[in-house]
Amino acid sequence: MSYLNLFKLFALVLALMLMPFTAQASIDEAINNAVAPVANAVSSVIFFSVPVGEAQLPLIVLWLIIAATVFTLYFGFIQFRVVGQAIRLIRGVYDDPKHAGEVSHFQALATAVSGTVGLGNIAGVAVAVAIGGPGATFWMILAGLLGMASKFTECTLGVKYRNEYPDGSVSGGPMYYLSKGLALQNKAALGKFLAVFFAIACIFGSFGGGNMFQANQAFQQVVIVTGGASSFMADKGWLFGLILAVLTGAVIVGGIKSIARVTEKLVPFMAIWYLVACLIIILMNFDKIGWAFSQIFEGAFTGAGATGGVIGALIQGFKRAAFSNEAGVGSASIAHSAVRTTEPATEGIVSTLEPFIDTVVICTMTALVIVITGSLTSGAGLTGVELTSHAFGSAFSWFPYLLSVAVLLFAFSTMISWSYYGLKAWTYLVGEGKTQELIFKFVFLVFIVIGSSMSLGPVIDFSDAMIFAMSIANIIGLYMLMPVVKREVNQYLAKIKSGEIKRVR
């Protein structure tokens, strides 16, 4: 039986399962009621919080901030020292023309970025400013800048300890550097444990932030532009999920690469379009730019407009930045490790641009648009993509439609990327093989339907919880392996300085 037939069968089974529900609204409700308690239980464990003043500080957020700060200091503010080098590497000035046809630095970065630029940038940021006030933006930018060092560390390691198979294909990522890197330090058992822990968290992360959150917010946006509560789609999240599952299935199960390729190619243009649209809105409110920035700085240090004061703003900013750029989470290192290079440090250097593009540029734009249009007051009560859409709508009534296109494409490309990350983690655990892959892919598709049927709260908590779980194993490994990264980058930068590695153009 071909995969496509198997896939049709799956869609049919799913449809039959949903048949007994008489009223359509109850399908969404039933799914929500069944999954929400599990999601809530999982997230309450991961998000063990300690009270700080009035706010609850989840330890995991502290974990990510500390890691990013440690890497920033340990590598001597590497993210600011190598900006020029990163751009030269992307332009290919060190690439031997004999190696043309291999994965370039630009391609590895572009693919990794299209995996991270998702609804975290549009909807996640809106959640941050809705709860954390305008000040959350400041902390988000700071987290993005610090996160560049975390990304640098994990992507250097991803390339250094990747597996290259005899057939020429490569597998890299935290699973491999945790197990191989720590084995070299005579901590093979710990390395293996962390690698397995990471892989399990990564599988669920791919169901959560890489899937349910994307599907959920894409559905919300479709409902908003088709007429809100009175929309035909309003209580048919399962139907939207089913359509999205069929499309995703066509790519990941049916192997219809053209869809994936079209999406990959459209995403960069959508990202540019999104930035241009944001700039237009910001320029339309030209007179309020100063005010918006003062709101952001004031909020950052006084906690104005934030639930839980300064700490509340800080937590939201850091949480959403980490969720969006995934620095310290380890996922992007899977994509980055495919690059063709003999110097692992080069990809680490290039990867520092990823949190910069994702968080410092795109997320900040979203936040600015929401703040500058006054949507925090006029759209009080709104959160997630609804808030962003409201802000876009306040400039031109038709902007939310364009936003929907961007949202759908971002969601789709992020889902395809994450299905790949999850699959890599899954095959790391159960071994390579067509059957094993199919099992994972079908479960992934089921979660699309679940994600679009549920309400935002439990979805976002579950997504965050899983993504942060990945960071627990990953960052322990990064701490232990950071001397390796330091050696790699220092010898590389020395070679550049001495002229041993020459520019070819």
Residues 67-96 that bind another protein (CB under 8 A): 92, 95
* Region near another protein per CB under 8 A, out of 48-56, 104-112, 181-189, 438-446: 104-112
481 binds another protein (CB under 8 A): no
Report how far apart, in Å, the C-alpha atoms of 113 and of each of 6, 303, 326, 331, 334 are. Answer: 32, 31, 10, 11, 12
Tell which residue, 323, 322, 454, has the closest CA to residue 38.
Answer: 454
| DSSP state letter for 170 | E
From the CB of 155, what's the least distance to another protein, in Å? 13
Which of 20, 84, 101, 290 touches another protein (CB under 8 A)? 101
Task: Give the residue with the Cβ less far from another protein, 394 or 417.
Answer: 417
Sequence-distant (≥ 6) Cβ neighbours of residue 421 within 8 angstroms? 115, 173, 202, 205, 206, 210, 331, 334, 335
171 binds another protein (CB under 8 A): yes
Task: Give the residue with the Cβ less far from another protein, 25 or 262.
Answer: 262
From the CB of 47, what's the least distance to another protein, in Å? 29
Phi, psi dihedrals of residue 55, rounded to the nearest 5°: -95, 160
User: Residue count at the site for another protein (CB under 8 A)?
Assistant: 36
E strands, 41-178, are: 49-52, 55-58, 163-164, 170-171
Which of 1, 23, 100, 229 touches another protein (CB under 8 A)? 100
417 binds another protein (CB under 8 A): yes
Residues 245-264 that bind another protein (CB under 8 A): 257, 260-261, 264
287 binds another protein (CB under 8 A): no
420 binds another protein (CB under 8 A): yes
- Euclidean distance between CA atoms 437 and 427, whole angstroms: 7
> Binding pattern to another protein, positions 333-352, x when CB under 8 A?
-xx--x-x------------
State the Rg of the chain over Cα: 22
Report how far apart, in Å, the C-alpha atoms of 210 and of each of 205, 217, 263, 271 are. Answer: 6, 12, 16, 18
Task: Give the residue with the Cβ less far from another protein, 97 or 499.
Answer: 97
Amino acid at 438: L
- Euclidean distance between CA atoms 154 and 347, whole angstroms: 10
Which of 19, 23, 84, 97 touches another protein (CB under 8 A)? 97
- Euclidean distance between CA atoms 297 and 133, whole angstroms: 11
Judged by the rule CB under 8 A, the positions of this chain that interact with another protein are 92, 95, 97, 100-104, 106-108, 110-111, 114-115, 164, 167-171, 257, 260-261, 264-265, 267-268, 334-335, 338, 340, 416-417, 420-421
